[in-house]
Amino acid sequence: MRRRKNFRKKPKDKAQGLSVTVFNNNVDGALRILKKKVKNSNLMLELKKRTFYRKPSAIKREKKNLAKLRNKYNQEKTK
């Protein structure tokens, strides 16, 4: 049995950042794919983090507190 030719050709030029190509005027499908890519790339979380300046000491303090919390949950989990 013959294999079907791939009718979706890959674009030759690679665009910088996130991009989606629209096939057969299927904008809804392309939008769904774009939303999934944005969600998986954590782009929105990064933008929210960069909306205002945080002092480096505050970032260190937050990381330290998160590590303490992880350790606490792991201790409870093993009991």
| pLDDT score recorded for residue 7 | 65
Exposure pattern of 8-42 as b/e (b: 16+ CB <10 Å)?
A: eeeeeeeeeeeebeeeeeeeeeeeeeeeeeeeeee
More confident residue, 6 or 51: 51
- The residues spanned by each domain of the chain are 27-78
| pLDDT score recorded for residue 64 | 97
| pLDDT score recorded for residue 18 | 83
